[in-house]
Amino acid sequence: MCRLAAYLGAEISLSVFLKEHEHNLIQQSWAPKEMQNGILNADGYGIAWLSEKNIPSSYKNILPIWSDTNLNSLARSLSSHLWLASIRGATPGQGISESNTQPFIKDSFIFTHNGSLEPFNDLTKANFLDILPNIISIGITGDSDSLYLFALLRHHLERQESVSNAVISMMNDLKSICGDSISALLNIVISDGDSLYACRHALNGDCPSLYYLSNQDNVWIASEPLSPKDMWISFPENCLIRFNRTGVIEDHHL
C-alpha cells in the first residue's frame, strides 16, 4: 500500500530526512504500524528533492529500500530544503518497475500517492482515458493507479490557476470515475517547489493514515509519525492542506 514522507524547511541532508528518526521510512518498509493492507513495502522506493538550481531531481530503485547499497552514500552526500519520498508496496497486478515507482516529476511538480484504486482494471483505466486528452494519456508510461492519478492531476494543472483548485477538480472527476463500485484511497502529497499540498481522502473506503508536524521553520508530512515523542497532528479526513515552511496557509474540505 506504500508509505510516504515529505519535508519543507531549512536545508537538511537526505540522512536526516530518511534515516535519523526512530520510526523512519526504512523501518516503515518492514514494520509499518498503520497500514490497512499488507505488512511490507518491499517493491522499490524513490526520493525526490530540489537541486541547488531549484530543479526537481529524483532517485529510484525497484529493490527494497533496506537492500540498496547506494543509499548510505547518497544520504551523506545530498542536501536540500525540500524532500519527498515513497516506499512501495505494489498492488497485485501492477508491475514492479522504475516507471511505476514514485515520486513522479513533471516540470516543477513532484507527486506521490499513498493508497490504491480497487479494482484497477481495463474499465477503470478507460474511465480515466475518457477524461484525459491524448497529450496527457500518451505520457502514462507504466500500469500503476498512481500514474493515472498523476496524469489526471497534470490535466487539471494545465486548466487551473492554482494547485489547490487542480486537486479539487481532480477529486471531483474521481467521484465520476469511481462511482459506487471502485474504492479509492487517496493520500497525495504534491510540491510546486514553494509549498507542499497534502490531502487525506477516500471514496468508497476508509482514509489511510496521514500526519504532519509543524515547527518554527519546517514542516514534515508522513503516513505514520516518524518520531513518537514529537507532536504529530493527524490530518482531518477528506481534506486538502497547503503548507509553507512555517505551517498551514490554506485548507479545503474535499
CATH of the domain at 8: 3.60.20.10
How many Å apart are CA 160 and CA 12, to the nearest integer?
32
User: Of 226, 229, 201, nearest to 83 (Cα)?
Assistant: 226
How many Å apart are CA 71 and CA 233, to the nearest integer?
29
Q: Digits of tens for pLDDT over the chain (254 positions)? A: 799 999 999 999 999 999 999 999 999 999 999 998 778 999 999 999 998 889 999 999 999 999 999 999 999 999 999 999 999 999 888 999 999 999 999 999 999 999 999 999 999 999 999 999 999 999 999 999 999 999 999 999 999 889 999 999 999 999 999 999 999 999 999 999 999 999 999 999 999 999 999 998 999 999 999 998 889 999 999 999 999 999 999 999 99
- CA triplet 160, 164, 165: central angle to 5 degrees? 40
Q: What is the pTM of this model?
A: 0.97
Structural domain that includes position 191: 3-253
Whether 226 and 5 have beta carbons less than 8 Å apart is answered as: yes
Number of folded domains that form the chain: 1
User: Of 223, 123, 240, nearest to 181 (Cα)?
Assistant: 123
Phi, psi for 71 (deg, rounded to 5): -65, -40
User: What is the predicted pLDDT for the residue at 37?
Assistant: 79
Q: Tell me the torsion sign for CA atoms 105, 31, 19, 60.
A: negative
User: What is the predicted pLDDT for the residue at 71?
Assistant: 96
